Structure 1
Amino acid sequence: MRRRKQMRRFVLAALFATFAFAASASAENYPSRPITIIVPFAAGGPSDAMTRILAERMKITLGETLLVENVTGAGGSIGVGRAVRSAPDGYTISFGHLGTHVANGAIYKLGYDLVTDLEPVALLPSNPMIIVSKNAVPAKSLKEFLAWLKAQPKPPTAGTAGAGSGSHIAGLYFENITGIKLQYVPYRGTAPAMNDLVAGQIDLIVDQTSNSIAQVRAGNIRAYAVTDDKRVESAADIPTVDEAGLPGFHMTLWSGLWVPKDTPKEIVAKLNAAVVDALNDPAVRKQLENLGLQMPPKNELTPEALGAWQKAEIAKWWPMIRDANVKVD
């Protein structure tokens, strides 16, 4: 009996050693095939645009192609769920932001935990939001726009990328600050929501600056203010909410990359290094800044910094979202 137990321990130890060696070898040879980044929103939107810019540069560092897969639905939770259930080998990456990796945990029955089922890789550039309306709205300033919204006989229609998306959270925050009730119109991303705003089918979006700025410049929609205490360099003519008459309505939509839990730390480190290389590339920085994106500080580009920030944002936003009694249709 004793010899049998010793033999069992020996076999188990050998198996563990084999698995450890295989994982180490796998991490050492990583990557050896294309990597997929799952973007949980429609193609053509701000999340998709940022990911494609970064993916193109990351392949130089990693030596393999990075493919972008758009998996939409349920405020991005379907795409995140697919990433969570993927093999922890570094070949599937989850792109997400404040909506998908914070707010959704307070709204949806996810079937996964946003913190314990994912490993953070890197914080990405962030977006202050921007208050925009269809051109048919007669207001020319934020104060006039607020007065117009309050005067409407029915709640004005606000486009979102679904319950829990950045545009939805921003809308809830806007309601809290102004006391104006909005009727939310969910889309599979802010790109299709923007199409309807340009067409005059909805009244407004509290949107990511990177998604709206081109339409503002083209004169297709009207911008009133950015939700920050300083102006966006690429849109310096648009006032801040403090300047425009809605002080304190500050919100930044940050983004990040995650991989499934138990992904080897060596692989996480390689992916993090590729992100840092991309964000340090002057050409990439220029592309992202032209979209109105703001670079994260260098000391916040570690996996640990993203993990700490995500937890802090959960503590900040979950109470507000639950108080708003957000329902998923």
Structure 2
Amino acid sequence: MKTSRRELLHIALAAAAGSLPLISRAQAIETAKILSGFAAGGTLDTLARRVATQLNGSYAKATVVDTRTGAGGQIAISALKASAPDGATLLATPMSMLGIYPHTYKKLPYDPMLDLTPVSLGVVFDMGFAVGPQVPVSVKTVPEFLEWCKAHPSNANFGSPAPGSVPHFVGELIGRAGKVNMQHVGFRGSQPAILDLLGGQIAAVSAPVGEFLPHLSGGKVRLLATSGASRNKFVPGTSTLVEQGLKDLVFGEWFGFYLPGKASVDMVSRANAAIRTALANKEVVEGLAVMGLEVRSSSPAELAAMLKADTEKWGPIVKAIGFTAES
């Protein structure tokens, strides 16, 4: 896939921003907000709130999290697009909405390359696949779950944080690997999906590993596998999909921070420095680890390159699955 002139200009802008010194804070931002497109209490919300706390008094006099759920994260991104590029509005978003949605939607209300300016990577994480009370406790692995689905086709389903997201496609690929047609149920975030899992309304959920951690001790939610190349350090006792015989199913994702598309290089530099400082804070690192999130910041150029690589990676996968937003 060739890099377009527009992409080159965007990456060049990000690279320039990463090399500039932090500008004067004489013109202080009164109130900044971090837009989040998924429900409060989830991993994205946790990242946004941890960072917002650190930005208070440094990047802005006050920083708040503005949750805009709906349309699988698109509402929050559209809100960023409509915001003034003055640094007062940031976005925390999963990669899915920027790197996968262009392959699943015929038309998006935003252009990931033009309407958003990369600032910094935030965290990286693996996916987890878990079952709840609807599935017998004798089911301890993904292959066993797939066999149970074959025996109970009316209950062969799974939930995810959003249709067309990485967790959604991980679930779809798991079903295909076992030749099981699992019905997908999309939610407005992982926690609403897990609540239905706990209530027995759905059989399984595919979501970031950290989303399950608060629920594992009770035993009602049982994590069957993780999606990384090696065992996840937050749940080392859980084997990977590959270990369970599902070859080539190795996937992860990241959350990143963005400014509106027309943000100046000076503002990008300022936001990048502030967010990287926030992410380096020990309390932030430890607090996010509780949610299964590994902190990893970046330059704007590095984030732009990551998005480009993931956009190219997911194109063929989405095509093979045959999913569209209208399907």
- TM-score band by shorter chain is 0.7 to 0.9
Residues paired across the two proteins, number: 301
Q: 1:253 to 1:87 in 2, by over 3 A?
A: same
Residue type at the aligned position of 1:221: V
CA distance in 2, matches of 1:30, 1:96: 27
Specify the alignment match of 1:6 in structure 2.
none
Q: 1:59 to 1:169 in 2, by over 3 A?
A: farther
Stretch deviating more after TM superposition (268-277 or 58-67)? 58-67
- Residue 318 (str. 1) matches residue 315 (str. 2): yes
Identity percentage of aligned residues: 29
Judge conservation of contact 2:119–2:259 (CA < 8 Å) in 1. Answer: yes
1:97 deviates by 1.1
Stretch deviating more after TM superposition (204-213 or 144-153)? 144-153
- Residue 36 (str. 1) matches residue 23 (str. 2): no
Judge conservation of contact 2:32–2:87 (CA < 8 Å) in 1. Answer: yes
Residue type at the aligned position of 1:246: L
CA distance in 1, matches of 2:156, 2:133: 14
Show the 5 A alignment for 1:266-281: 266-281=266-281
1:63 deviates by 4.5
Judge conservation of contact 2:285–2:294 (CA < 8 Å) in 1. Answer: no
1:37-81 CA-partner distances (Å, limit 9, x unpaired): 110111122211121112112325424222111111111111101
1:269 deviates by 1.1
Q: 1:273 to 1:244 in 2, by over 3 A?
A: same
Specify the alignment match of 1:132 in structure 2.
130
Show the 5 A alignment for 1:280-295: 280-295=280-295
Higher relative contact order (CA 8 A, sep 6+): 2
CA distance in 1, matches of 2:129, 2:28: 42
- Residue 158 (str. 1) matches residue 158 (str. 2): yes
Judge conservation of contact 2:49–2:65 (CA < 8 Å) in 1. Answer: yes
CA distance in 2, matches of 1:246, 1:217: 26
Specify which of 46, 70, 74 is matched with residue 71 of structure 2.
Answer: 74
CA distance in 2, matches of 1:256, 1:208: 15
CA distance in 1, matches of 2:244, 2:176: 18
Judge conservation of contact 2:47–2:288 (CA < 8 Å) in 1. Answer: yes
1:229 deviates by 2.1
Secondary structure of the 1:149 match is helix
1:117 deviates by 1.6
Judge conservation of contact 1:94–1:259 (CA < 8 Å) in 2. Answer: yes
Specify the alignment match of 2:233 in structure 1.
233
Q: 1:309 to 1:146 in 2, by over 3 A?
A: same
Q: Please give the root-mean-square deviation of Cα atoms over the aligned residues, in Å.
A: 2.0
Higher helix share: 1
Judge conservation of contact 2:59–2:274 (CA < 8 Å) in 1. Answer: yes
Residue type at the aligned position of 1:58: L
Stretch deviating more after TM superposition (65-74 or 314-323)? 314-323
1:162-208 CA-partner distances (Å, limit 9, x unpaired): 32233223223333443322211122111111100011100111111
Judge conservation of contact 1:142–1:245 (CA < 8 Å) in 2. Answer: no
TM-score by length of 2: 0.86
Stretch deviating more after TM superposition (159-168 or 254-263)? 159-168
Unaligned runs of 5+ in 1: 1-25
Specify the alignment match of 1:83 in structure 2.
80
- Residue 214 (str. 1) matches residue 214 (str. 2): yes
Q: 1:30 to 1:126 in 2, by over 3 A?
A: farther
